[in-house]
Amino acid sequence: MIRRLYDRWSRALAVLCAGFAVLSFAPVASASPFGQGLFGADVPFGSLTSLTISLSGDVSVGLLPDGANFSGAGSQTVTVTSTDVVGYNLYIYAPDGTDMAGSTDTIPTSSNTSAGPLATNTWGYNTDGTDDYVGMTTTPALLKNALGPYKNGDDTTVHYGIVTDGAKGADSYTVEVTYTAVALNY
């Protein structure tokens, strides 16, 4: 029982910090001891499992007039590649704060806890490409639960939206967003 719990916690974990302007990668991998594993699984008997994460690049959102306001949207593709035979969970958060910061002003995240339209002078994200967004949090929020190995990669497109009024100062606003992929251990 103790050995099984140890094996459960010693699976692969990959963490990726990606912001609108900052990108870094720090994978960590480990394997079950030789002689353990699932017969006939994608991971050869006694081999290391792997979990990697990559991004399509930084997100850039240009704002266009939208009635009395300005709005814009952009997206980023997060690709998780895994030989883990169970799958992974993908999380998103902004650990250093959720406000998009400019040189003299900020744009706070939406207060939406479920998908809905953005209020003026807020930003948010979704994975369905609609005009309904949720607000970013400072703690990890589950973005996707994916079951099965993805040795050729599994894409998740994250869409970002912003709505501002004409009083918001013209500037370049940024926020650092972190994606974390964690191998599942069932």
Q: Give the count of domains, the chain.
A: 1
The residue among 69 and 50 whose pLDDT is bigger is: 69
Tell me, what's the pLDDT at 41?
A: 54
Q: How confident is the model at residue 16 (pLDDT cuts 50, 70, 90)?
A: very low
Instruction: Give CA–CA dist 127/151, Å, rounded.
Output: 22
Entry pTM: 0.76
* Domain that residue 139 falls in: 2-183
What is the maximal distance between C-alpha atoms in the chain? 65
Question: Which whole-number Å values give the CA distances from 99 to 10, 145, 153, 171, in the listed order?
Answer: 35, 27, 31, 14
Dihedral through CA 54, CA 140, CA 91, CA 52, nearest 10?
40
